Structure 1
């Protein structure tokens, strides 16, 4: 990649970050093709995760009937039914069961020696299968947040809008959509085309939130 190409790519990334807004009003006539939704999710899974276990799972809700079903569970937030789809980001507390597939594939692709992959599989399964539930969930929320931000930035880069939603009844969601016990709801993300621009917001000065080497005493 040339210096000019790198600068253009960086400028584009900065524009995406600056332009992203949390949008709550969507054009209900716009439908995002499933192929494009799949591409957004595939790109988003380039996010980092603990031991590369990729614990995120996605339930994409684009059926009008199911969006209506989700509406009261999500406190009747209109974006649920107006957006093209709602992506439920879930975390798999048993993601270590994919360690064999993940590391074997890496070895087959020449990314690590076979003996190293085997060692990683054994150590990863032993460690993650024995984690206390609260630790396993903490990891899932961290990794789920990383992939969720990726989804929203990629959607913006492709001309779509999003809003992350934590305001929903997780217990009702689990029951209504038959979510297995191993999957933990992280958040909902509405995605579509804005019918009205998201409200611009300000950010605290960086001096209020970033400190070098030492935190303030109070």
Structure 2
């Protein structure tokens, strides 16, 4: 049985080496059809695992979730067939193929988020921030000051792009896949933006006495 998060086990009768996959998918007639069907089955398993993992935050379930998985697998197969000549054998064929379906899942989940009426968010609902972080109601005056200071730092210290990403992800709780789809960016690019943003905000809060700098650490 495949461990959670691990690539699915190879399918019976599927090509066992990268060059066999390339040859079979580049062939014509029945051989190509069979290889394409096996590829789709393999990618559908990956897509279903990915949409289950990511769909919980978007409250997607049942037939709708499975439909997204089927769409992602089908589009990934088409993309792989179109680019089969670009595969150079520098990694396992399945590893290369999985990247296509994961990319398709990310895009489809992201677009699905913005297609829902609930995705129409207020611009920066800061009043909900303490609840989202589970802050202690008994220390309301303390964290209210911190939230106000954080908001000032966001408005004064960040670039427009950093402010947009921080507000969407942290304040409004927009899933990263959805923000990638909206901005036409990538997960890695947004991770880098959030890293730089957190560093700026922490430095500002430390400088104004709202946080204490850890010994030996630079903002």
Q: TM-score normalized by structure 1?
A: 0.31
Q: Which structure has greater strand proportion?
A: 1
Higher-Rg structure is: 2
Larger RCO (CA under 8 A, 6+ residues apart): 1
Q: TM-score normalized by structure 2?
A: 0.31
